[in-house]
Amino acid sequence: MRHNPLFNITVIAALAAATMMLCCCGDSKKDEPDGPDVPGTTDEQYQPLTGLDPNVPLFNGYDRIVGYTLWPAENKADASLTGEGFSYDYWYEHKGEAKSLEGLLDMCEVPQETLDDMSTHNLVLTCFMHPYNSIYNAYDNQYIGIMSAMKANCWQELMVRETGGDNLLDLYCELTYPLTHDGTFHTYLSYLNYQKEAADNYFSLSALSLVAMTAVDSKVYSPEQLTRLAGEIFNKIENINKAGELLSYVGAMRYPFLLGAAIAYRFDHSLSPLELSYLYDLTGFQGIPGHDPATDRYFTAENVTTALNIVTRSLERIEQGSLLTNTQH
């Protein structure tokens, strides 16, 4: 049994602030009866959402907003591709000349001939180093935001590659947050010897967690890969915990937890309707196309803690191999 990362004092202290960022919430309804008991929850009034169906993707309906389909069934063979990656040198040299965001994004498009020959390993690194992955943070809805970032032609190519999801998983597992000699944190890839500036490190791992969330939601991964991913989420959370006050729940840790919540929601058959409701609230998918907005949810910092505990227990079960099945709820 792993140590529950929620006991970190910094994380608990940040939960109240995180609540406003995680979901659409409202005032307490005094006349509601108590909901069913969930281990680890408080005595707060909380009613399960009705109509939740974990067989329906969390991102259902988003394609109508952003204009493309996440991880389409098409699989482009990529074993013979060996081309180099893309460095965005032109953007670095000429970004000051752009007149609009669209112009900046156009500078980051990979030439098609380079993209067609690029190995999938180098492609996923090119995606990770895209200068505008952090654009998701400019949107009120971070899921529309990450799908907007993934409109870049490198991400579009990765999603149709035969081993695109595999390489994304490898990259996510490789990312760490080491403490450098000067006391700052950098997102680091050992095999690239590549560091991003400290100001960008939240966005690097956070954006990749959201991208991996789209892959999980689209059933890209096998049960064995989900088991590996569950273990890696724990590694990320423990790694961030070591940073103490340098990396907060809101700034960094919530994104691996959101990824874990998507895995639990879609694949953990043992969850009760109330537990599914907590996870659905945690991910903040209320009000997306196909779902009614839960504007009157009684969602407190204590309920966030309960939801994160549900994620932790579910990931522990998955990591132990007890949920090795491709069949969803």
Other beta carbons within 10 Å of 3: 11
In DSSP terms, which residues pair with 195 in a beta bridge?
188
Helix axes 254-267, 223-241, angle to 10 degrees: 150
For residue 226, which amino acid is it? L
Long-range contacts of 90-97 (CB under 8 A, 24+ apart): 91/131, 95/131
Structural domain spans, the chain: 1-57+244-329, 86-217
Question: Which distant-in-sequence residues (6+ apart) come within 8 Å of 109 by Cβ?
Answer: 152, 153
pLDDT of 303: 78
Compute mean pLDDT per 10 residues along the chain, 329 residues long, and list them. Answer: 48 38 36 40 66 92 93 91 90 90 93 96 91 87 93 97 96 74 51 42 77 96 94 86 60 83 94 92 69 50 84 92 53
- Cα–Cα distance measured from residue 228 to residue 186, given in angstroms and rounded to the nearest whole number: 24
> Of 185, 177, 258, which Cα lies nearest the Cα of 217?
258
Report the 3 state secondary structure along the chain. CCCCHHHCHHHHHHHHHHHHHHCCCCCCCCCCCCCCCCCCCCCCCCCCCCCCCCCCCCCCCCHHHHCCCCCCCCCECCCCCCECCCCCHHHHHHHHHCCCHHHHHHHCCCCHHHHHHECHHHHHHHHHCCCCHHHHHHCCCHHHHHHHHCCCHHHHHHHHECCHHHHHHHHHHHCECCECCCCCECCEECCCCEECCHHHHHHHHHHHHHHHHHHHHCCCCCHHHHHHHHHHHHHHHHHHHCCHHHCCHHHHHHHHHHHHHHHHHHHCCCCCHHHHHHHHHHHCCCCCCCCCCCCCCCCCHHHHHHHHHHHHHHHHHHHCCCCCCCCCC
How many angstroms separate the CA atoms of 268 and 227, rounded? 12
pLDDT at 5: 52
Q: For the beta carbon of residue 56, count every other beta carbon within 10 angstroms.
A: 16
277, 291 in Cβ contact below 8 A? no
Main-chain dihedrals φ then ψ at residue 179, nearest 5 degrees: -85, 125
Is the CB of residue 171 less than 8 Å from the CB of residue 124?
A: yes
Query: For residue 218, what pLDDT is reported?
Result: 96
pLDDT at 54: 93
